[in-house]
Amino acid sequence: MSADDWWKCGIVYQVYPRSFQDSNGDGIGDLDGIRARLGHLVSLGIDAVWISPIYPSPMADFGYDISDFCAIDPRFGTLDGFDALVQEAHARGIRIILDFVPNHTSDRHPWFVQSRSARSDPRRDWYIWRDPAPDGGPPNNWISNFGGPAWTFDPVTGQYYGHSFLKEQPDLNWRNPEVREAMYEVLRFWLRRGVDGFRVDVLSQIVKDAQLRDNPPNPDFVEGQDEFHRWLMLHNTDLPEVQPIVAEMRRVVDAFSDTRSSRVLIGELYLPLPRLVAYYGRNAEGVLEGVQLPFNFELIATEWQAARIRRFVRDYEAALPAGAQPNWVLGNHDKPRIASRVGPRMARLAAMLLLTLRGTPTLYYGDEIGMTDVAIPADEVQDPFEKNRPGLGLGRDPERTPMQWSADAQAGFTTGTPWLRLAADWRTNNVEAQSRDTGSMLALHRRLIALRRAQPALNRGDHEALDAGDEVLAFARNHEGQRLVVLLNFGETPAPIPPASMPHRPVVLASTDPARAEGIEGPLVLAPCEGVVIGTVDDKGPAAP
């Protein structure tokens, strides 16, 4: 395999840096902590780490409010420490993907400080400023993703500025070519330091309607529903002008791709399927000039039923432009954890689904040990989303609790006081304990990832839907004569597998019992919530990537 398609065959692992590993006892995870834990990532078998923002930030949105795009927040470390991380990760075969946040800065970013200082400031147009509406209110009806108007009045110059998120996160004006160039320079800064790509935050929202027209009402809005859904985000999301900008970003990043390795762009895009696949950026010649991986969040969004997922996989495969690489995500720092959404038993099946489907998987830290959401008492809430709209279940602290490494004090996460409380089960549920247990969630992840890496059918084979009854999601992965069949029982009762769906070959891996993988005689019956991979393993193939 050539190094340039590592992101097609490889596995991405998301680290939320505050919560991964603290190295200096301040209770906040940091870069040296990540470096100290590379061994875990190597033994897990992942290929790239996406690290959520590590740049200087007032932390109004925990790093997604950035006051300097080209430095490291002292809480996370130093640039030297970052370089050391990149070097050591690369030496151990792990690529580093940073979070690029183009839509907004912190209100403390020097660009915004200048921009707000005077209407005549040269940086005024770097942000979105407008006069008040005739009644003195906001210029239009846009709502912030975190609740309340997407506009804040600034008495210094008597105008409103736009912010799709917190008022501490003013939106940049991507219609301004100087902004675009300055942000591309940010990409180059990190690419020169050797990073392998970027996850691009809220990519679909970076361009706003030039006339800032009101959004139309959402006909499906029900009174009492979250006000965010009151309007359709017609004029501030997914405008046609975003696509050429994505292509520009891609050119910036591609200029750093070399024979050693290609650099990758991953877009954060919560969009319906036809709009999502547009971000591959297929041009008139059929060349894909958009992001290589527009994040596919369907496994987070959908109801957890075999029929739903089967239908989506079919539609997704059909919607992908020629040559486009699919991808799948089970969890991230904004959404409830998979083990809490579907329960611990089903989470094992979900891991098997994520790691056997055709497409690049992204794994959220802690999901490999089945971490669950942690209820955070009101007086410990950190997330601004929860603070803005308490009690609606929107807060993201529950899925951001510290990684559970061992039964040592504070789960081995810190020698100090963790910034967010640990899950109650950390003494028994941690990496160390699970490493000793061949039946653990961690052991299952290691087996699945090792299988995926070693088997061309799994890491680059095609996808063939099979029929094994309503409750069983069944598909084959085929590559150059190798065929592996995946059978996943979403039901709560045993599922006999029709012989037609099962080659007369052994079980290679089961989501339940590692001993099950030794082979089977007679008809195959899946236990409730059990998944298996069956077929003949190719023991000659190189491990990907």
Pairwise CA distance, residues 379 & 6, whole Å: 44
CB 316 within 8 A of CB 298: yes
First vs last C-alpha separation in the chain: 7
Catalytic residue among 201, 373, 397, 399: 201
Nearer of residues 45 and 384 to ligand NOJ, judged by Cβ: 384
Pairwise CA distance, residues 463 & 18, whole Å: 37
Q: CA-CA distances (angstroms) from residue 450 to 13, 345, 439, 455? A: 15, 21, 16, 9
Our answer to whether residue 268 is catalytic in this structure is yes
Nearer of residues 199 and 477 to ligand NOJ, judged by Cβ: 199
Residue 306 host element (H or E): helix 306-319
Q: How far is the CB of 93 from ligand NOJ (least distance, A)?
A: 27
Q: How far is the CB of 166 from ligand NOJ (least distance, A)?
A: 8
Q: How far is the CB of 356 from ligand NOJ (least distance, A)?
A: 26
Q: How far is the CB of 374 from ligand NOJ (least distance, A)?
A: 17
CA atoms within 13 A on the CB side of 27: 7
Q: How far is the CB of 88 from ligand NOJ (least distance, A)?
A: 26
Nearer of residues 218 and 388 to ligand NOJ, judged by Cβ: 388
- What does DSSP assign to residue 533? E
Please list the residues that pair with 344 across neighbouring strands.
none
Our answer to whether residue 201 is catalytic in this structure is yes
Side chain identity, residue 135: D
Nearer of residues 282 and 400 to ligand NOJ, judged by Cβ: 400
Nearer of residues 22 and 201 to ligand NOJ, judged by Cβ: 201
Tokens of 315: 């539609």
Catalytic residue among 65, 268, 373, 383: 268
Nearer of residues 146 and 490 to ligand NOJ, judged by Cβ: 146
> By the criterion CB under 6 A, which residues form the site for ligand NOJ?
61, 64, 101, 165, 201-202, 268, 333-334
Q: How far is the CB of 14 from ligand NOJ (least distance, A)?
A: 10
CB 173 within 8 A of CB 102: no
| Coarse DSSP helix, strand, coil percentages of the chain, rounded to the nearest 5 percent | 35, 15, 50
Side chain identity, residue 53: P
Tokens of 19: 């919560």
Please list the residues that pair with 151 across neighbouring strands.
162
Spatial CA neighbour of 238 closest among 205, 273, 281: 205
Give catalytic residue positions: 201, 268
